[in-house]
Structure 1
Amino acid sequence: MRPTGADAYLFPKLEQEVRMTFSAPKPVFDTAIAGGDALGNLPDWDLTDLYADQDAPELASDMEWLEKACADFAADYQGKLADLDAAGLLECVQRYEQIDVVGGRIMSFAGLRYYQNTTDGERAKFLSDCQDQITTFTTPLVFYTLEINRIPDEQLDGLFAENAELNRYKPIFDRLRAMRPHQLSDELEQFLHDQSVVGSAAWNKLFDETIAGLEFTIDGEKQGIEATLNLLTDSDRATREKGARELARVFGENVKLFSRVHNTLAKEKQVEDKWRSMPTPQTGRHLANHVEPEVVEALRNAVVNAYPKLSHRYYALKAKWLGLDQMEVWDRNAPLPETDDRTVDWDAAQKLVMEAYADFDPEMANIAEPFFTKGWIDAGVKPGKAPGAFAHPTVTTVHPYVMLNYLGKPRDVMTLAHELGHGVHQVLAAEQGELLASTPLTLAETASVFGEMLTFRKMLAAAETKDQKKALLAQKVEDMINTVVRQIAFYDFECKLHAARAEGELTPEDINALWMSVQAESLGPVFTFMEGYETFWSYIPHFVHSPFYVYAYAFGDGLVNALYAVYEEGDPEFQKKYFDMLKAGGSKHHKELLAPFGLDASDPAFWDKGLSMISGLIDELEAMED
């Protein structure tokens, strides 16, 4: 189920079918191309901690319980919330939380099975059926947020003061009350809730199934999008060009469909935002992230202003290394001539990441270990499997699951470190309980990017030659540029897209032009752009699944860079403060979480500090040219 409006904040684990934390797309390729068994025994998910299978009696029992629990909840509380005392409201919240746990468990199971093979009709049907049933069951609960937001602030504050256990849930109520100005009537909220399954959720599924089913022909052989995207990282320039042109061909053939998806979702959002009196298309995301618009604007402006000293400077340097006067888009992710082409097998990747985590703190490695030993990671590339990588927290009474498409490149090792960081974060935050564990997107990338940094530093320290160090530094800079510069360019594209859609239907050519306007600005003058690159917006899942999600990557990277600087300064209490921050989940505002480290994201200098770390790495690379 993908709840809309206020319900999206009350059902944090059910948002967007199942709540996934997605990585920025990183190209991978087909296992057969990678050498298959050379990577070792790649793990698959064991989903039995959720349910044994889709016909498990426990799943049927939970579905029955959920239907009755929702109906009983409505019967017991609808029209009565304002009359509850502190103990009564606490019991009400805890009953609601248990409903969230059971519904989240079902949807997690259905969603994870689906993402293992998005082209399997039976799995797609099972997910849709679960969505339909849970949407129907939870419709009577729409009153909950609406009635809470009618209770006067002073009355709620008084109840919080009376009961310490109830007060623990205050952050949830604060977020709900932030939505109060945008709340609709009971009937309209219920309509949006019911309609969501055939609205945005359906368009999301169409997008996923279309992307997973695309076929690309390379040297007479058909392959999927992951294999083709990976060609953009090949050491042979002709191969990279071949991959880029085939991507452009297939995206171009499907651009009308992707344009329809974006037009529809942007218009749907515009309509709902209008009814909710949202001042901007971005407002809902900022409210969900519990971050002030001016903080996001400060981040965006700092990154855009830094384009010349970051991406423009680095890519000019890379063009020199590649012996090119001008770079084409297929050169952006090209490996350096010094790059070692050897793959890292699964056991070696696990050892490297676990040692990096243990060097920071043994407890971090202890938390990460079950992911490898208990079937919590699905690593291999398989037909129909969702592209990219993500970590899904499921519910706080179970454990997270990590999905990868592992092919043994150093970048894949970094992706493992990234997603495992999410997993560690989700395990630690689970002690907050279902309603408070979910971390706003702006903070959700903290542990993942920090885990990447720990792993990168360990790999850098182990580099034996100047060429190895140069290649690692360059790869890290590229990943940072992809995380910060590219994601802010994506954010600007989305802002332009939603603003333009508000003026009327957009043709594919209109969307293409918006895409190119941010690409040229962010990548710099060293690039030229092949015909067809203008359609490359079409495969980015974040634009479809989570509008304006992308700035969270830049927020997280800047935050982690600042955090890592504090760590390198030798704060003896850093590990304790860091674990406390992760354990807080969504129970505290970013200002409160960063205060123990002496950091403040509302200070524009905060972002400059983080960006300076990227600039410093480019300085090191330039110094190697001397």
Structure 2
Amino acid sequence: MQVFKEEKWDLSELVKDPDSPQFAKRLQAIQNTVKNFEKNKKILSPKISEKKFLSMLHQLEDITEEFGRVSGYASLEYSSDTQSDKATALLSKMRKLGAQLENQTLFFDQWWKKQIDEKNAQRLMKSSGELYEFLRYKRLLAKYSLTEPEERIINTLDVTGHSALVKIYDKITNAFVFEVKLDGKIKKYNREELTVLVRSPNPKTREIAYKALLGEFDKNKGVLGEIYQNIVSNWKDECIQIRGYSSPISVRNIGNDTDDKTVESLLAVCKKNSDVFSKFFVQKAKLLNMKKLRRYDIYAPIKKKEEKRYSYDKAVKLVLDTLNDFSPQLSEYARRVFVQRHVDSTIRPGKRSGAFCSTISPKLTPYVLMNFKGRTNDVFTLAHELGHAIHSVAASGKSIFIAEAPLPLAETASTFSEMLLFNKILEEISNEEQQTILVEHIDDLYATVGRQAYFTLFEIAAHDRIGQGAMVQDITSEYMKTLKDQFGKSVDVTPDFGIEWTCIPHFYHSPFYCYSYSFGNLLSLSLYQRYRKEGKSFASTYVDILAAGGSKKPEVLLKEHGIDITSESFWQEGFEYIKNQADRLEDLIN
């Protein structure tokens, strides 16, 4: 039987030696191919033949594939040793070359978006086979694009507009130092260190940490509030007044290739089911021997015995066996990552922290980076990243332009894989261990589903109110309103949390991004509920969904499998799962 050992990944399938003459020749060949592609400028016209148009698309695919391999190598090599000067230099070189190649091929993108009439565009799209969706989506974005000179002006002004405002926000908030008095001593913390304290087992420590965090942001609320007001106004002026989007959130929806109705249904269901998390917080208070949770306590850990440890071999086999129980095909996809030595699992100086899955090309097995310490959480991380990997392998028959799933579907396989593992582990542990793992699980579901949905509901209200001239205090009042709405009477929320909205970088960096977390996680939960009802037969439906990659709009793809994500009843299935887990915890406690 195969024994899985921790090791560094093998990147030789991408590049054997970046210092060799052969590598230099590869880079030169890519640049020559791009120069040849530029010659197509002369023949671009609305009457271009379907055959010639398709040939150009395939040329672009080849360029993207080949450059993706060398630039992907540079990125992965840097991740495996961020302190290497050689890796850093190669990554910088590839980024510079990538920007140059993008500029050289941009003419095709601009022509397709703006310079061809709809009738001829439809003619070419119909003959493009599986690339129809790729071309359709570009045309959709073109509807909100401006002329080239206008786009250039906006890009130029953005440097001193939205981008500049975000940089100022980051510069101010990243410089914050939080003074915390513990055990009679005052210590200074950065925000990352403070995050550990807000999850302390000690209630007083949690309160002190939160007060230090919120107090610092409150002191700076004038400037942070003004930055946000200007970002929101800029979003409205550019996206609605100039580009013609129907609402502030529709900008993000169209970017995600998702209908407004779908997102409205998702948010409505999250709002209707806030009591599911409220009841959980009541149960958690019992476990913490508290009459009622304060907002300071919602991420408090519950007491647990010494954490179970897993060997790397056992962790890998557990995840592969879990996948095999659901679908031997998907387990085999995941096994490829190990067989081909595409996993970097060892902990060493200079290596990037955290974990990720990188798909360089649909033609190549993905690469997975993680830092394995043997904790239960590491096993779930492994399941999560292998979920991404099997999604990519399932869609490996697609063009590089449509293999990647759109953002709302991107976490489907990763979260689903975690669900399978969670329920397998849950059946094999004691009641006391079940309590601990259930609390942590529902904590995560609140953080990724409930909290993110309410962030989005706040943003909708804040954008509306700022458009009507709201001041910083009005925005704070709106945020408090959403906190009270989501917690009800289950959690005491003190006034200092009103300013928490200034602590959320997503509001500044990427308006309305947060619902993507709710979407991805609740979609996976709803699909998991379907699996529980339909049994083994659901596996083929699930594999078909993954195999589509980004070749179809989410609503269209899922509708083909009898799933209507515009319907509130579908999203409700996901909340039934959360409710079942909360009920299971309540039975264990009482």
Residue 430 of structure 1 is matched in structure 2 by 396
Pairwise CA distance, 1:56: 7.0
Contact residue 125 and residue 135 of structure 2 kept, 8 A = no
Pairwise CA distance, 1:481: 2.0
Contact residue 391 and residue 423 of structure 1 kept, 8 A = yes
- The question of 1:612 aligning with 2:579 is answered no
Residue 138 of structure 2 is matched in structure 1 by 176
In the alignment, the residues of structure 2 paired with residue 58 and residue 363 of structure 1 have an alpha-carbon distance, to the nearest angstrom, of 37
Q: Given the alignment, which residue of 133, 138, 150 partners 1:188?
A: 150
Residue 303 of structure 1 is matched in structure 2 by 270
In the alignment, the residues of structure 2 paired with residue 272 and residue 303 of structure 1 have an alpha-carbon distance, to the nearest angstrom, of 30
Residue 554 of structure 1 is matched in structure 2 by 518
- The question of 1:146 aligning with 2:113 is answered no
Letter in 2 for 1:443: L
Q: 1:505 and 1:113, CA in 2 relative to 1: closer, same or farther beyond 3 A?
A: farther
Residue 28 of structure 1 is matched in structure 2 by none
In the alignment, the residues of structure 1 paired with residue 337 and residue 505 of structure 2 have an alpha-carbon distance, to the nearest angstrom, of 25
Residue 98 of structure 2 is matched in structure 1 by 134
Residue 13 of structure 1 is matched in structure 2 by none
Deviates more, 1:84-93 or 1:186-195: 186-195
Q: Secondary structure at the match of 2:357?
A: strand
The one-character-per-residue Cα deviations of 1:155-214 (angstroms, maximum 9, x if unpaired) are 3443455x4xx2211111111222232121123345667888898778878988999998
Letter in 2 for 1:185: T
Q: 1:160 and 1:425, CA in 2 relative to 1: closer, same or farther beyond 3 A?
A: same
Q: Given the alignment, which residue of 516, 527, 530 partners 2:491?
A: 527
Contact residue 288 and residue 440 of structure 1 kept, 8 A = no
Pairwise CA distance, 1:434: 1.0
Q: Given the alignment, which residue of 560, 585, 588 partners 1:621?
A: 585
Letter in 1 for 2:46: A
Percent of aligned positions that are identical = 27
Letter in 2 for 1:455: L
Pairwise CA distance, 1:610: 1.9
Residue 585 of structure 1 is matched in structure 2 by 549
Q: 1:350 and 1:172, CA in 2 relative to 1: closer, same or farther beyond 3 A?
A: same
In the alignment, the residues of structure 2 paired with residue 559 and residue 344 of structure 1 have an alpha-carbon distance, to the nearest angstrom, of 31
Q: Secondary structure at the match of 2:416?
A: helix
- The question of 1:439 aligning with 2:401 is answered no
Residue 420 of structure 2 is matched in structure 1 by 454
Residue 442 of structure 2 is matched in structure 1 by 477
Pairwise CA distance, 1:569: 2.5
Residue 361 of structure 1 is matched in structure 2 by 327
In the alignment, the residues of structure 2 paired with residue 117 and residue 205 of structure 1 have an alpha-carbon distance, to the nearest angstrom, of 27
What's the C-alpha RMSD, in Å, of the aligned pairs?
A: 4.2
The 5-angstrom pairing of residues 278-427 of structure 1 reads 278-308=245-275, 310-337=276-303, 339-345=304-310, 347=312, 348-372=314-338, 374-377=341-344, 380=347, 385=352, 389-404=355-370, 409-427=375-393
The 5-angstrom pairing of residues 591-606 of structure 1 reads 591-595=555-559, 597-606=561-570
In the alignment, the residues of structure 1 paired with residue 499 and residue 79 of structure 2 have an alpha-carbon distance, to the nearest angstrom, of 25
In the alignment, the residues of structure 2 paired with residue 203 and residue 70 of structure 1 have an alpha-carbon distance, to the nearest angstrom, of 36
Pairwise CA distance, 1:560: 2.2
The one-character-per-residue Cα deviations of 1:279-337 (angstroms, maximum 9, x if unpaired) are 222223212322110110011011112112x1211112211221212323342122334
In the alignment, the residues of structure 2 paired with residue 101 and residue 316 of structure 1 have an alpha-carbon distance, to the nearest angstrom, of 52
The one-character-per-residue Cα deviations of 1:399-451 (angstroms, maximum 9, x if unpaired) are 43445566655444333322321222123223212101121111112111110
Q: Quick check: which has more Rg, 1 or 2? A: 2
Pairwise CA distance, 1:614: 1.4
Q: Secondary structure at the match of 1:549?
A: coil
Q: Secondary structure at the match of 2:388?
A: helix
Q: 1:243 and 1:114, CA in 2 relative to 1: closer, same or farther beyond 3 A?
A: farther
Q: Secondary structure at the match of 2:395?
A: helix
Residue 123 of structure 2 is matched in structure 1 by 158
Aligned residues, how many? 579
Contact residue 342 and residue 366 of structure 2 kept, 8 A = no
In the alignment, the residues of structure 2 paired with residue 59 and residue 533 of structure 1 have an alpha-carbon distance, to the nearest angstrom, of 55
Q: 1:543 and 1:141, CA in 2 relative to 1: closer, same or farther beyond 3 A?
A: farther
Segments of 5+ residues of structure 2 without an aligned counterpart are none
Q: Which of the pair has the greater relative contact order for Cα pairs under 8 Å at 6+ separation?
A: 1
In the alignment, the residues of structure 1 paired with residue 23 and residue 211 of structure 2 have an alpha-carbon distance, to the nearest angstrom, of 46
Deviates more, 1:495-504 or 1:567-576: 495-504
Contact residue 197 and residue 209 of structure 2 kept, 8 A = yes
In the alignment, the residues of structure 2 paired with residue 350 and residue 458 of structure 1 have an alpha-carbon distance, to the nearest angstrom, of 14
Q: Secondary structure at the match of 2:321?
A: helix
Pairwise CA distance, 1:141: 3.3
The one-character-per-residue Cα deviations of 1:261-283 (angstroms, maximum 9, x if unpaired) are 76676565445424322222222
In the alignment, the residues of structure 1 paired with residue 89 and residue 175 of structure 2 have an alpha-carbon distance, to the nearest angstrom, of 17
Pairwise CA distance, 1:126: 6.8
In the alignment, the residues of structure 1 paired with residue 485 and residue 216 of structure 2 have an alpha-carbon distance, to the nearest angstrom, of 26
In the alignment, the residues of structure 1 paired with residue 28 and residue 481 of structure 2 have an alpha-carbon distance, to the nearest angstrom, of 52
Q: 1:570 and 1:265, CA in 2 relative to 1: closer, same or farther beyond 3 A?
A: same
In the alignment, the residues of structure 2 paired with residue 429 and residue 104 of structure 1 have an alpha-carbon distance, to the nearest angstrom, of 17
Q: 1:500 and 1:407, CA in 2 relative to 1: closer, same or farther beyond 3 A?
A: farther
In the alignment, the residues of structure 2 paired with residue 256 and residue 43 of structure 1 have an alpha-carbon distance, to the nearest angstrom, of 50
Q: Secondary structure at the match of 1:291?
A: coil
Contact residue 81 and residue 148 of structure 1 kept, 8 A = no
Residue 453 of structure 2 is matched in structure 1 by 488
Letter in 2 for 1:488: A
In the alignment, the residues of structure 2 paired with residue 196 and residue 47 of structure 1 have an alpha-carbon distance, to the nearest angstrom, of 38
Q: Secondary structure at the match of 2:307?
A: coil
Q: 1:268 and 1:378, CA in 2 relative to 1: closer, same or farther beyond 3 A?
A: farther
In the alignment, the residues of structure 1 paired with residue 370 and residue 96 of structure 2 have an alpha-carbon distance, to the nearest angstrom, of 28
After TM superposition, the score normalised by the length of structure 1 is 0.78
Letter in 1 for 2:130: R
In the alignment, the residues of structure 2 paired with residue 381 and residue 253 of structure 1 have an alpha-carbon distance, to the nearest angstrom, of 40
In the alignment, the residues of structure 1 paired with residue 24 and residue 174 of structure 2 have an alpha-carbon distance, to the nearest angstrom, of 30
In the alignment, the residues of structure 2 paired with residue 476 and residue 62 of structure 1 have an alpha-carbon distance, to the nearest angstrom, of 47
In the alignment, the residues of structure 1 paired with residue 459 and residue 219 of structure 2 have an alpha-carbon distance, to the nearest angstrom, of 22
In the alignment, the residues of structure 1 paired with residue 385 and residue 407 of structure 2 have an alpha-carbon distance, to the nearest angstrom, of 14
Letter in 1 for 2:441: K
Q: 1:594 and 1:420, CA in 2 relative to 1: closer, same or farther beyond 3 A?
A: same
In the alignment, the residues of structure 2 paired with residue 70 and residue 506 of structure 1 have an alpha-carbon distance, to the nearest angstrom, of 51
Q: Given the alignment, which residue of 92, 104, 108 partners 2:56?
A: 92
Q: 1:394 and 1:505, CA in 2 relative to 1: closer, same or farther beyond 3 A?
A: farther
Contact residue 522 and residue 571 of structure 2 kept, 8 A = yes
In the alignment, the residues of structure 2 paired with residue 551 and residue 621 of structure 1 have an alpha-carbon distance, to the nearest angstrom, of 27
Letter in 2 for 1:297: E
Q: Secondary structure at the match of 1:179?
A: helix
Letter in 1 for 2:129: N
Contact residue 356 and residue 454 of structure 1 kept, 8 A = yes
Q: 1:323 and 1:57, CA in 2 relative to 1: closer, same or farther beyond 3 A?
A: farther
